Structures are given as C-alpha cells and as structure tokens.
Amino acid sequence: MPHQDGAGTIDEVGEGVDAGRVGQRVWVWLAAYRRLTGTAQELALVPAELAEPLPDDVSFKVGADLGVPFLTAHRALTVVEGGPTRLVPGVLAGRSVLVAGGAGAVGNAAIQLARWAGAQVITTVSGAEKGELARAGGAHHVVDYRRQDVATEVRRIVPEGVSTVVEVSPTQNAAIDAPVLAPHATVAIYANNGGDEASLPIRPLMTVNARIQYVLLYTMPEVANRCRCRCERRTACRCHPRRRGRRPAAAPLPAG
C-alpha cells in the first residue's frame, strides 16, 4: 500500500536499536500509521519492529509489495476455527479457500499465501484479464462472478464446501458465501467494497456453525503494539497527529 509499505536499506538506527542493523536490507509496513510520514519519500523513519529483514535474493520490489496486503491476507487465513495461527508450507493442506476478488492486492496475496500453505484455492474475478492475474498468483480454480453462478461452481469444485472465505464485498457476496461453507467454516471480512451493510442468511450459516470474522490490520493487538509511538511518554512528542492538536500536513514527496 503506498506510503505504508516499502523496502530499502537501513541508513541509521536510533537509540537502543542494534547498531549492527545499519546496512541491513529490510521491508517495512504500516510506516505511516499513527505517524506523520511514510514511505513515499527517500528516507523513512519507522520503529525498528516495523522493519523486517529482507533476504538478499528477494528484490526491493517484492519487499515493498508485502506489507499491508500480505499481512491482511495472512490474518484472514489464520482466524479460522481449528486452523493454524501462522502460515507455513503445508499447514492448509486438505483445506479449501474461496478468495473473493483474486485480482485485487489483498485477494491476490491471499491466493499466494493459501496456495503456498497447501490449500486448494478457488477465486472469483470480473473478467479474463483478472483471471490471468489470479492464476499467476496460484489459484487452482477461477470463477467469473459476472458470468457464472459462483455458488454452483464452487460446490461443483469442492462438494464438501470451503473452510475459509476471504471476503472483500460482504454486501454483494453474503448470499453466495453461505451455501458454499463447509462445517465450521469462517468468512473473513476485510473490506466493505460494494456497500456498508449486508443481509446474512442466518439458517444456512447457523446450520454449519459458521463464523463471521472481521479483519482490520490496524487494530490487531500485535500490530497496535508494534505501531505504538515510542516517544508517547515524552511531553515533547510530535509523532502522533492528535498530540499536535491538528491534522498533519501531507508528507512532502522527494523532488525530481
């Protein structure tokens, strides 16, 4: 996500941070959350915990793509009843995942992570070009939600139903999701694309003991902890907009 995510090399470290990290390649995430500036500039200042080591054989471009989309997708795939809380290869073997909108940033990240973790991945898209993006991300099955009956197609592919739906548009898809859920499945809702309210078919959801789980990266406890301003206890803190008593000005972009 622009301004939140990025990648680069550590130039300097602050007090209390391992000086050995200078020169380290890193990817950073949520750089602009609760701070005045982010990554849309040459130099970014972030808490050390938000700068993750980036292996030498992974490009800065890949590193800059990780942040918000992949962390959101990881969360959506790990809030499932009885499922793993951390994705590694093989942990989703035997499970099926339906990703709504597999050509989107978060949707495509969910496809890649689910596939990497061993799940069977079905996704929906709105056309052929987006279908190619979803396939490139690793989707086993792509359904065109504008032209096909998604629930029928998903049931045909996975008669037993899916264990997880990664949902971008609950307003538009609630009636599609309910009939494709396996027992104890989770619908992980991370966005409100297409509308702010959804009508849930209660009986079908209740019958399979479904879970409707909301996902917002910024307020996940572990994220909130890492993003906390390190100078909160200092009276002169100017990091947090609310402490400044006014909205922050936009961070300047580098010239040229």
Ligand X SMILES: NC(=O)c1ccc[n+]([C@@H]2O[C@H](COP(=O)([O-])OP(=O)(O)OC[C@H]3O[C@@H](n4cnc5c(N)ncnc54)[C@H](OP(=O)(O)O)[C@@H]3O)[C@@H](O)[C@H]2O)c1
- Applying CB under 6 A, the residues found at the interface with ligand X are 68, 72, 100-101, 103-107, 124-126, 130, 145, 168-169, 172-173, 190-191, 193-194, 215-217
- Give me the least distance between CB of 197 and ligand X, in Å please: 14
- Give me the least distance between CB of 82 and ligand X, in Å please: 23
Identity of the residue, 94 or 195, whose beta carbon is nearer to ligand X in the bound complex: 195
- Give me the least distance between CB of 106 and ligand X, in Å please: 4
Q: What is the residue type of 163?
A: S
Identity of the residue, 10 or 63, whose beta carbon is nearer to ligand X in the bound complex: 63
As a three-state string, the secondary structure of the chain is CCCCCEEEECCCCCCCCCHHHCCCEEEECCCCCCCCCCCCCCCCCCCHHHEEECCCCCCHHHHHHHHHHHHHHHHHHCCCCCCCCCCCCCCCCCCEEEECCCCCHHHHHHHHHHHHCCCEEEEEECCHHHHHHHHHHCCCEEEECCCCCHHHHHHHHCCCCEEEEEECCHHHHHHHHHHHEEEEEEEEECCCCCCCCCCCCHHHHHHCCCEEEECCHHHCHHHHHHHCCCCCCCCCCCCCHHHHCCCCCCCCCCCC
Identity of the residue, 49 or 144, whose beta carbon is nearer to ligand X in the bound complex: 144
- Give me the least distance between CB of 100 and ligand X, in Å please: 4
Residue closest to ligand X (Cβ): 104
The token pair at 226 is 């890492």
CA-to-CA distance for 198 and 192, rounded, in angstroms? 9
Identity of the residue, 10 or 29, whose beta carbon is nearer to ligand X in the bound complex: 29
- Give me the least distance between CB of 68 and ligand X, in Å please: 5
Identity of the residue, 191 or 210, whose beta carbon is nearer to ligand X in the bound complex: 191
- Give me the least distance between CB of 79 and ligand X, in Å please: 12
Identity of the residue, 54 or 168, whose beta carbon is nearer to ligand X in the bound complex: 168
